[in-house]
Amino acid sequence: MATKLWDKGLKTDELIEKFTVGRDPVLDLSLAPFDILGTMAHITMLESVGLLEEDELSTLLGELKKLYVSTMTGEFKIEEGIEDVHSQVELELTRTLGDLGKKVHTGRSRNDQVLLDLKLFSRDAIEKTVLKVEQLFKLLQKRSEELKGVLMPGYTHLQVAMPSSFGLWLGAYAENLADDMEVLLSAWEIADRNPLGSAAGYGSSAPLDRSLTTRLLGFGDMDYNSIHAQMGRGKMERTVLYALSCVAETLSRFAADCCLFNSQNFGFITLPDSMTTGSSIMPHKKNPDVFELIRARCNKICAAPEQVRLVTTNLPSGYFRDMQVLKEIYLPVFGELADCLDIACHAVEGMKVKEGLMDNPLYATAFSVEEVNRRVAEGTPFRDAYKAVGLEILDGSFRFDGHLHHTHEGSIGNLCNGRIAAKFDAVLSSFPFERVHAALSSLLEA
């Protein structure tokens, strides 16, 4: 059994060890490249304050860069008996460099290491999420423009309400994603603060230069108060998960619409046969499982922020091992949402819509407001026109033979997709991805 970073020569009960280590050796593989980047920044700072020699820094950086490459190629492993990624990285350095490898932990705790790893991971994962959201946004807008002239009934209370269009419907979900981007930007800003140097939550007597590690890692700012930095564990995850849950909620509602509109009773949209599944007993079935699973998986994601809250609520200040459980909730969500975004794009591209829907007498009453407005334009008071049309609907004599005149911003005749795209792009440009890329590239090339 490998020696622990905290080992003092005392034997640990095997059942206790297995239980307390938990799933860290598996989950921490996601954090490995970020742990190495954080270590590179930390030792660069240690050399600048005189706690490492220049040649020692050069040697350590060389080995860390090799380890970083191994995380990119999939060769990096957390060995049996090693608690976490921090332990594995230090073990690799001491195997290769002997006592020099033991110097990398000066002025640091595994507490601020994992805080840092999670912040770096989160920035990277948010960026990947944002790019996938952008892909779906652009596709929804493209199809919205293509289908803006194809009418469909709009509903309130699942009752026929007013004329809508496939362009308006798809454009609505695009604008939803624009709002979700605002929340993702807020989550990014919480993740974009450097906790390194807070150590176990009470700082260090070592002469650390936290501003330097902040710059080296491309952070926009730092978590200044060391206790606050530790209290951010759980709060940061919950904030980011809330942002992801906003995207998931948008996807879930869109998927629910698609399930409804794909049913024979509606028949508004269809999927190619290759995108549907069948039944083991009913040969006629073509099920929209893709949308049902998007809905279910996104609803599961929406529960994640509350799972984190239930772990962290009422914890006193300082670090507690409860926090370890957060990784199990947090780390997998990004991949799950990415899968849903990818398959949603695929399904939207293949989806076909039915034209001529509003010619069906079933939807005739959807034009009642059009008729009311037509009469108002001719001089009839609104309330009188409303009552007259209502009575015609009741006695079955209602007809609307006019034309639709929807010209205001955001209506079926004026989707404002360009303005929505500008709103989306403004938020997208506010993410400082290039700053982070430049900082991390410089660190790796040093």
pLDDT of residue 1: 40
pLDDT band for position 60 (cuts 50, 70, 90): very high
pLDDT band for position 3 (cuts 50, 70, 90): low
pLDDT band for position 6 (cuts 50, 70, 90): very low
Mean pLDDT confidence for 333-358: 97
Rg (CA), the chain: 28
Q: What whole-number distance in Å separates Cα of residue 120 and Cα of residue 37?
A: 9
Asked whether 226 and 197 are in contact (CB, 8 A), the reply is yes
Mean pLDDT confidence for 309-328: 91
Strands 221-222 and 269-270: unpaired
Reported residue count of the chain is: 446
pTM of the model as a whole? 0.93
Q: What whole-number distance in Å separates Cα of residue 446 and Cα of residue 257?
A: 52
Both tokens of 404, joined, read 């639709």
> At the topology level of CATH, where does 111-148+191-204+224-357+426-445 sit?
Fumarase C; Chain A, domain 2 (1.20.200)
Q: Among 142, 300, 327, which Cα is nearest to 234's? A: 327
Q: Among 169, 173, 139, 179, which Cα is nearest to 345's? A: 139
pLDDT of residue 10: 59
What are residue 160's DSSP bridge partners? 155
Determine which of 13-27, 367-381, 407-421 has the lowest per-residue pLDDT on average. 13-27
Domain boundary assignment for the chain: 14-106, 111-148+191-204+224-357+426-445
Amino acid at residue number 369: V
With a cut of 90, say whether residue 4 has pLDDT above it: no
pLDDT > 70 fraction of the chain, expressed in percent and rounded: 96
14-106 and 111-148+191-204+224-357+426-445: identical CATH topology: no
Asked whether 154 and 164 are in contact (CB, 8 A), the reply is yes
Q: What does the mean pLDDT of the chain come to?
A: 94
CB neighbour class for 130 (10 Å; exposed up to 12, middle 13-18, buried from 19)? buried
- CATH of region 14-106: 1.10.275.10
Mean pLDDT confidence for 23-30: 84
Write the CA distances from 278 to 171, 288, 297, 347, integer angstroms.
31, 9, 20, 17
Mean pLDDT confidence for 153-180: 97
With a cut of 80, say whether residue 309 has pLDDT above it: yes
Q: In the chain, helix, strand, coil percent, each to 5?
A: 65, 5, 30
Both tokens of 409, joined, read 């911003």
Q: What whole-number distance in Å separates Cα of residue 119 and Cα of residue 123?
A: 6
